[in-house]
Structure 1
């Protein structure tokens, strides 16, 4: 298939030329805390049958071991431009090798492409740097990205999970002012997706809400990548949100009193009822925008044939505080 594809010339100028596309490149970028590790585990375990069907996979085991190093330079790196060019060269060599193996589709899954939970917590905002970061990745793939898969999650549950993850990994328990700032922040998923669309304007951005695909990585692959996916008989639920007892143990190991957290055995909800409602309202607005067409930037890709989460998730997954059966009921479904 002949496609008019933008690449970057001297000084970053955009140059368009005709190329023959023989392989679709699909980026699965998260967001974090939306089952990315479960999806990556599924792709890794089914790499062989996927490859037999012409579907390749790059996951964090590959991308974070040097392949993407330099695409987004670290502040302390003085020669970031040289590192970027080397990274772009590595990506292109790997793409050439993938095409030479006869792959028709390449799925690249790494949520760190769009940023980090740590940065979100520090800024109290969702992926403030996603536009610049994804523009760099688009450049590294030389305009060959056909689809970007993005999964938002109801904001009160996203932030509860992200903050619990942060506390479990050395972040301090946030002060009340910080939580209020997060709850009433103006930036929602609509802003994140708009920035993503500007960074990768020629890709089809498919928005696959976590509430529809939680615990079903094969369905996420089919709807996001448009391929037939192997059935998964060995479901795994990885990197689950820690419970309050687990967080208290982490704090105790760090010499911090667990009393800073509320009593309970389930997952931590750090927000007041009003803050919880504000986050849900923002998510409802985001979903209404997506349902109305997202200004042509992205496509809301729902799964209306889904079964009840309690029947398809691994044992125990739906019993955690804000369990996934509860999350399915909470998904904003305007219209």
Structure 2
């Protein structure tokens, strides 16, 4: 049985993709393809695998993963798709250490050991760092976590770790796996493309044009903070997307992202493959402009508003 990991990342349409996969479970089952999504992985598969004070707990968790994978194979599953962005780490940990997925390599090494070398392919969606951190900020604030100050964002902007480092960690932990990298700015709102990369399977686009788990705009974030008894004035004034970086910091992060994309386009030292947009002309429709609160076009408008 081959295992295909859809790692996310967070804030790159993972929830939309996971709902899309669930809509097509019957079709996948007909091809002997199994699926583990967050509803299963976080409840019964991964607990204790990545975060554990007791050193014996990861070993027990690895045994549980190994047992569940063996059961899936015994049922006739030839390919198992696992989609859970928390496999990379959490947004909270990223903020705590002011770095993109600093524990990604360790997490993947533990998962690889648990799956017994079955991982054949990895799909990772990356996003411009300034927009990734901005979206992660809105998500964590909406869920009741702290709103970080300017010093934290300055620390993040100065950090050296980019997507190239994350991908290198994945390749070291999963030697031999086919790592495919998809830019969010190109494939946002097209979960069928992600499924194609993962399984080489062509299915129709999402006709409902869902855009799930979107970042809340500033007006709604203030309401959430107020309802939780927090101070809404810690957020900047205005409407639209919360962009916590200064223009100079955002520019530095975008330059780092451009370097990451250049490295990928040049072959990524043989570690990964950058997915090209060869089907754009015949792909399904994207979200209507009025609903675009993610993606390149919307982000361009947001940058223009901050000038």
Structure 2 match to 1:325? 297
Unaligned runs of 5+ in 2: 303-307
Aligned-partner Cα distance in 1 for 2:284–2:154: 32
Aligned-partner Cα distance in 2 for 1:235–1:136: 36
Q: Label 1:251 to 1:309 Cα distance change in 2 as closer, same or farther (>3 A).
A: farther
Structure 2 match to 1:14? none
Is 1:114 aligned with 2:88? yes
Greater helix fraction, Structure 1 or Structure 2: 2
Cα contact 2:52–2:58 (8 A) shared by 1: no
Aligned-partner Cα distance in 2 for 1:96–1:172: 41
Aligned-partner Cα distance in 2 for 1:39–1:237: 9
Aligned-partner Cα distance in 2 for 1:329–1:30: 25
**Which one has a bigger Cα radius of gyration?**
1
Aligned-partner Cα distance in 2 for 1:245–1:121: 23
Cα contact 2:38–2:84 (8 A) shared by 1: yes
Structure 2 match to 1:32? 10
Aligned-partner Cα distance in 2 for 1:218–1:328: 25
Aligned-partner Cα distance in 2 for 1:262–1:309: 38
TM-score (structure 2 length as normaliser): 0.91
1:66 aligns with one of 37, 44, 69? 44
Cα contact 1:206–1:299 (8 A) shared by 2: yes
Which deviations, in whole Å up to 9, do the C-alpha atoms of 1:95-137 show, x marking residues without a partner? 2232233333211001111100011111111111111111000
Which deviations, in whole Å up to 9, do the C-alpha atoms of 1:234-275 show, x marking residues without a partner? 332111011101111122123333233222221111111111
Corresponding residue SS for 2:179: strand
Structure 1 match to 2:132? 158
Equivalence map 1:288-327=2 (5 Å) = 288-306=262-280, 311-313=285-287, 316-318=290-292, 320=293, 324-327=296-299
Structure 2 match to 1:144? 118
Aligned-partner Cα distance in 2 for 1:329–1:134: 37
Cα contact 1:35–1:238 (8 A) shared by 2: yes
What is the aligned length?
Answer: 302
| Higher deviation after alignment, 297-306 or 31-40 | 297-306
Structure 1 residue 309, shift from structure 2 partner = 10
Aligned-partner Cα distance in 2 for 1:73–1:164: 24
1:49 aligns with one of 27, 47, 60? 27
Structure 1 residue 171, shift from structure 2 partner = 2.4
Q: Label 1:175 to 1:27 Cα distance change in 2 as closer, same or farther (>3 A).
A: same
Aligned-partner Cα distance in 2 for 1:272–1:235: 32
Q: Label 1:94 to 1:230 Cα distance change in 2 as closer, same or farther (>3 A).
A: farther
Structure 1 match to 2:75? 101
Q: Note the aligned Cα RMSD (angstroms).
A: 2.3
Between 1 and 2, higher relative CO (CA 8 Å, sep ≥ 6) is seen in 2
Aligned-partner Cα distance in 2 for 1:177–1:149: 33
TM-score (structure 1 length as normaliser): 0.84
Unaligned runs of 5+ in 1: 1-22, 331-335
